[in-house]
Amino acid sequence: MSYPERLDAAWQAHLAPRGTDAPTVVSTFAGCGGSSLGYSMAGFDERLAVEWNEKQAASFVANFPDVPLHLGDIADLGDADALRLARLAPGELDVFDGSPPCQGFSLAGARELGDGRNQLFQEYARLLRAFAPKVFVMENVRGMVIGKMRLIFADIIRELRECGYTVSARILTGGYYDVPQLRPRMIFIGVRNDLAVRGIRPSHPAPFIRPPTVREAWQGIENTADECKVARFAETRLVHRILLRMKTGEWGDDYHPNRQLYGLHRLEWDKPSPTLLRNGGAGGVCEACHPVENRRSTIAEAKRLASFPDPFVLRGTFEERWAAIGNCVPPLFMRAIARHVRGLLDQAKAVETGDHHAATA
């Protein structure tokens, strides 16, 4: 099955109706819906999403019109209101998901311990306590375990354990989960302690595929002339000269190391893309330039690199849509995690019903 065919099959799974026994999920810091789409592709019933950015929320609503959305600061969402919106009592939720903003941890940023964005994790932990789900999943950048940020990482693990969970954290790379992008991310998975003591331990999905290539991802893609025009840089002469000289696989910094050209990169047809950055579509610099044409990738091409099916709707300007893609958890990446977590939930259900054989399968 080709990559576009795999994406279409995943999209059809997302559109399929949910059964009454579908596992439930609540998504915080939902963005445009990358994680939500992954859970939906895996058969989950999303009960509530939380997002403060109006532009990204517009994309979310366009694709998930039936999911209740709290549009605003997560700190303004009280525990009782969150439970009411999700139509759940404490302990009933299957999975609590979230990707607290990661710029304070990112290797591309200043990496300050006191960055306020690092503290949004506390709001995640507050709602985790309120919902008391069977399992939680939290995603962040790998930079949180490098250098001084390891102090925050240790605090995060401690806090999650104090919430009542047995926790495992590993760096996974999206490319090995059917995403044409080598996007490494720290994935936390926690199992509620009452289940953990009965043998349900947190674990992570094993890699199952070689990373799809740009050529495979873009098979059959259709770009309009207007889309290609928008994707061309409003570049400075310097960027234009360097781009004209760059061969596939090369980085702009190789040509001008003393300039701010971080991320200027020509993709290679037969390799996956590097990580797409949220600001890659702005400022005349982009880490996903077309392999042979003198332009950045179109939004349609970037969606494929992030494993979004073609029908998925993104709202806003080019830069706003690019930021949504750069901020997201790739849907097929999250689908793999969601499927694995669903296996943990099946084990937990077997424990609760006394089915010893299923619980140990």
- Alpha-carbon span 140 to 103, nearest angstrom: 9
Nearest alpha-carbon partner for 213 in 175, 240, 257? 175
- Alpha-carbon span 326 to 308, nearest angstrom: 12
Percentage of the chain beyond pLDDT 90 is 64
- Confidence band, pLDDT 50/70/90 cuts, at residue 142: confident
Please name the residue ranges forming H helices in the chain: 3-15, 34-41, 54-63, 79-86, 121-131, 150-162, 193-196, 214-217, 225-231, 237-245, 299-305, 318-327, 331-353, 356-359
pLDDT score of 261: 56
Mean pLDDT computed over 338-351? 94
pLDDT in tens, 310-344: 999 999 998 899 999 998 999 999 999 999 999 99
CB 263 within 8 A of CB 280: yes
For the chain, first and last CA: distance in Å?
29
pLDDT in tens, 48-85: 999 999 999 999 999 999 999 999 999 999 999 999 99
- Confidence band, pLDDT 50/70/90 cuts, at residue 257: low
CB 105 within 8 A of CB 140: yes
Mean pLDDT computed over 291-298? 88
Judged against a pLDDT cut of 90, whether residue 106 lies above it is answered with no
pLDDT score of 353: 77
- Alpha-carbon span 160 to 189, nearest angstrom: 10
Domains (range + CATH), the chain: 3-211+329-354 (3.40.50.150), 223-327 (3.90.120.10)
Could you give the 3-state DSSP secondary structure of residue 109? coil
- Alpha-carbon span 38 to 47, nearest angstrom: 14
pLDDT score of 262: 52
Q: What is the mean pLDDT of the chain?
A: 87
Judged against a pLDDT cut of 50, whether residue 108 lies above it is answered with no
CA distances from 1 to 4, 66, 299 (A): 8, 31, 24
Judged against a pLDDT cut of 70, whether residue 233 lies above it is answered with no
pLDDT in tens, 194-231: 999 999 999 999 999 999 999 999 999 988 888 888 87
Could you give the 3-state DSSP secondary structure of residue 26? strand
State the chain's maximal CA–CA distance in angstroms: 69
pLDDT score of 361: 54
- Confidence band, pLDDT 50/70/90 cuts, at residue 283: very low
Judged against a pLDDT cut of 70, whether residue 149 lies above it is answered with no
**Residue-level length of the chain:** 361
Cβ contacts of 15-23, under 8 Å, gap ≥ 24: 16/43, 18/43, 18/44, 18/45, 23/94, 23/95, 23/342, 23/345
Judged against a pLDDT cut of 60, whether residue 6 lies above it is answered with yes
CA distances from 278 to 46, 103, 123, 213 (A): 25, 10, 23, 21
- Confidence band, pLDDT 50/70/90 cuts, at residue 236: low
15: how many CB neighbours lie within 10 A of its CB?
10
Task: Name the range with the highest mean pLDDT among 100-104, 109-113, 357-361.
Answer: 100-104
pLDDT score of 97: 98
Render 225-291 in DSSP notation, one character per residue.
HHHHHHHS----HHHHHHHHHPPTT-BGGGT-TTSS-TT-BB--TTS-EEPPPTTTTSTT--S-B-S
Nearest alpha-carbon partner for 314 in 61, 98, 97? 61
CB 137 within 8 A of CB 97: yes
Catalytic residue list: 102
